[in-house]
Amino acid sequence: MRSPLLGSFLRWRHSRSVLQALFLSLAILVMVDGFWGPQLSPKNMAGVLPWVHWRGFVALALLLAGNLFCMACPFMLPRKLAKKLLPADRHWPKALRTKWLALFLLFLFLWAYEAYHLWASPLLTAWLALSYFVAAFVIDGFFRGATFCKHVCPIGQFHFVNSLASPLEIAVREPGVCATCRTRDCIVGRYEEPRGLDQGTEALRPHERGKLLQAGCELWLYQETKTGNMDCTFCMECIHACPHDNVGILTRAPARELWEDPQRAGVGRFSRRPDLAALALFLTFAAFLNAFGMVTPVYAVEAWMGRVMGTTSEPLVIGVLFLAGMILLPALLVGCVARCSASLSRSGRTIIQEATRYGYALVPLGFGMWVAHYLFHFLVGGLAIVPLTQEYLAFLGFSFPRAPSWAVGPLVPESWLLPLELIFLELGLLVSLVVAYRIAVREVGPGPRAVRAFAPWGLLALFLSVAGVWLLLQPMEMRGTFMGS
């Protein structure tokens, strides 16, 4: 925030709106081409930009910075319009103020991606994007705060969980400044009129405070007690609202928040949130099964399952495969590991309690697999945007001396691809082992008990790492390009 150029832009209160407008333009381009453009995926923006470039940039952003996609999310501009046109005064039902709904929607999203070949269907991709805009508009048009982001958006949950291993977070610079602050603008917003400080922060109702100049955090992450990136969309509202310039985008030790367990604003303690732990574990195992869906052996598995089930319905077969690989098998593995960990360390906790404490340790490993997978597609197919842009401009009436060349190569030498993938995967493994051990030390103290508590989780991480190496060694479909697998 204090750097000469980038900091000046980020401190500008309209910086996020500019980024959102840019990505909204790209989203409109994707939808227009998806609905009315050629339905050959590598020749359509809806077949390339979301599934090759967007996912590649997301992986890099999370790895190098943090949740930058939510910062520039194109779905937020229609959402802002909804807040003005609709009442947005209802409370989200208490029963849904968890991550279970978002986890279910994530499962549906990943299943639909494979079952209906979204990467090969520009039309379905366009409909998916449009449905996202409608959902954000309707939900946040009727409910208070950023309900869609916090409790519904499956893409947002992906970024929340994986940004736990990112090197940046929005945080307080000097805690002492917050301790003496009485206006709490970072959470309630900054108003035009003084708000009766002698009466206390909550003395005046919103309509008594004058004109709202700057909104506060709509995800209810109070900066004084906020810790880490969970539920943080990097909206920077708290930064712009703080009258003391005491909130910034700060560096931190990546993954540190995974082994710490303070009381977090808007989230509570990780160790008391089985829904959050389930989300983290789901995304970890989904990273491996999602990659498995793109390698050659999956076709033999699907054919065998079809024969056993007596069906030729691909969506049904993939649904059963995903249910087994993302829900049932992970539950069995994690349950056994949690039981062993509790027994070896004599913690006295139940399986769910143990898994809720240690499940977050697998996030870096899952993130490493997501990065390896997404960067593979991006590095292989990133240059496809060049002929695709030429084709689109030609459709709009621009002329070029030469026809687009679709025989594009990877962004890096092909011999680099596998080593890069393995580096990210094994780096994730290393961090997961560190996090698991630090959680064990936190829970049972240093010494032999910590080693015994850590051992089952370390073995599970090693098992998943070996599975990941096997997956990366398999021929993988090069989706979004004319290149074969």
- State how far the Cα of 28 lies from the Cα of 133, in Å rounded to an integer: 11
User: Does the pLDDT of residue 404 top 80, yes or no?
Assistant: no
Q: Are 41 and 478 in contact (CB under 8 A)?
A: no
CA distance readout (Å), 405 to 383, 391, 399: 11, 10, 15
- State how far the Cα of 354 lies from the Cα of 274, in Å rounded to an integer: 10
**pLDDT for 53-86, tens place per residue?**
999 999 999 999 999 999 999 999 988 899 999 9
User: Does the pLDDT of residue 256 top 90, yes or no?
Assistant: yes
User: Does the pLDDT of residue 260 top 80, yes or no?
Assistant: yes
Residue 485 is given by DSSP the state -
Top pLDDT among 433 and 190 is at 433
pLDDT, position 48: 92
237-254 CB burial, b ≥16 within 10 A, e <16: bbbbbbeeebbbbeeeeb
pLDDT, position 484: 47
Which pLDDT band holds residue 196 (cuts at 50, 70, 90)? very low
Which pLDDT band holds residue 381 (cuts at 50, 70, 90)? confident
What's the pTM value of the predicted model, to 2 decimals? 0.92
**pLDDT for 220-254, tens place per residue?**
999 999 999 999 999 999 999 999 999 999 999 99
Residues in the chain: 485
Residue 268 is given by DSSP the state B
